[in-house]
Amino acid sequence: MNECIYARQAYLCLLHISSLLPRLRQEEKQLEIYRTELEHCTEDMQTKINRRRQELKELVDKHADTLLVDIDSTNQENLKKCELHKEEIETLLVLLESYNSYCLRLATVGSASDICRAKAALDARTKELQQLHVSSSTSSSQLSYVSFKITELQDILRSPDQNIVGELNGRFLLSIAFA
Provide the domain count of the chain: 1
Query: What's the CA gap between 32 and 82, in Å, rounded?
Result: 73
Secondary structure (3-state) at 49 = helix
Secondary structure, 3-state, 104-116: HHHHHHCCHHHHH
**Is 96 in contact with 128 (CB distance < 8 Å)?**
no
What's the pTM value of the predicted model, to 2 decimals? 0.62
* Residue 13, domain extent: 2-175
Residue 157 has pLDDT above 80, yes or no: no
Beta bridge partners of 149: 167
CA of residue 107 relative to chain centroid, distance: 59
pLDDT digits (tens, 9 = 90+) for 37-90: 999 999 999 999 999 999 999 999 999 999 999 999 988 988 898 898 889 889
